[in-house]
Amino acid sequence: MQEYDVIVLGTGIKECVLSGLMSLSGKKVLHIDKNSYHGGESASISPLEELYRRFKVPGPPKSIRRGKEWNVDLVPKFFLATGQLVKILVHTEVTRYLDFKVVEGSYVFKAGKVHKVPATEEDAQSSDLMGMFDKRRFKKMLHFVLNFDTRNPRTHQDVDPEKTTTRELFSRFDLGQDVIEVTGHAIALHSSESYLDQPCLETINRIRRYCESLSRHNSSPYLYPLYGLASHYTATAQC
């Protein structure tokens, strides 16, 4: 009978990351799943017939052929190029088994039009999400964020990152409402307005992470596993 140091049940992202890290540290890991596919609730279902069986509906239509060529993500999501998850994948050497594709752009829909999200000075100058004066203010705010260092008070410009709220920070740069919405939700990726009345350090870090991710690939800060999300779960588990 084989013996293992650790048994991991399930192949969701948390389980796969834990399995990969423990394997990397020399543990003998048994990683199992009751399903016939990897990924848990965030799985990429393939072939297409499996997706229809999962939701107990007839299909797929006969007009759709080659079901094995389909990977349908149950919970579609992108990775920030310098985000924590990508750092874990690099640390566990999963990138030996996994290919990523750079998402071609980051956009928002506003006032009946699709706009590219600005995150660099050049983007800000060409964006039609902002007026001329807004662009100058956004540029100054972006310059402040990219030079901000928690260990160097000289870069704080009288901003206390633990006490100054994000609303107060935006007010210092006199940002308009349109710029605040783009910065808070499309760049810092906050899902509600509550961040405005919280200390600004988290928002500063989020904007910096977005910009650093963008600088890796120029066109977009986002990466996506070439064969669906479940492919990176499988690769993490195999490392």
**What is the domain-level CATH number for residue 210?**
1.10.405.10
Q: Are residues 209 and 112 in the same domain?
A: yes
Q: At what angle do helices 13-24 and 229-238 cross, to 10 degrees?
A: 30
For residue 47, say if its preceding peptide bond is cis, omega within 30 degrees of 0. Answer: yes
Q: Are residues 68 and 117 in the same domain?
A: no
> Encoding tokens for residue 85?
């998850």
Q: Are residues 99 and 117 in the same domain?
A: no
| CB 101 within 8 Å of CB 226 | yes
Task: Report how far residue 195's alpha carbon sits from residue 70's, in angstroms, rounded to the nearest whole number.
Answer: 38
Task: Report how far residue 187's alpha carbon sits from residue 119's, in angstroms, rounded to the nearest whole number.
Answer: 7
Number of structural domains the chain divides into: 2
Q: Are residues 209 and 155 in the same domain?
A: yes
Per residue of the chain (239 residues), what is the pLDDT tens digit?
Answer: 789 999 999 887 778 778 888 888 899 999 898 887 777 777 778 888 888 988 899 988 888 878 888 878 887 778 888 888 788 777 767 666 667 888 877 888 888 888 888 656 676 677 788 888 888 898 899 999 999 999 999 999 999 999 999 999 999 999 999 889 989 999 999 999 999 999 999 999 999 999 889 888 777 888 887 766 655 555 544 55
Q: Are residues 212 and 111 in the same domain?
A: yes
Find the CATH number of the domain harbouring 22: 3.50.50.60
Q: Whole-prediction pTM value?
A: 0.73
Q: Are residues 123 and 178 in the same domain?
A: yes
- The parent domain of residue 47 ranges over 6-103+223-237
Q: How many CA atoms lie within 13 A of 3 on its CB side?
A: 1
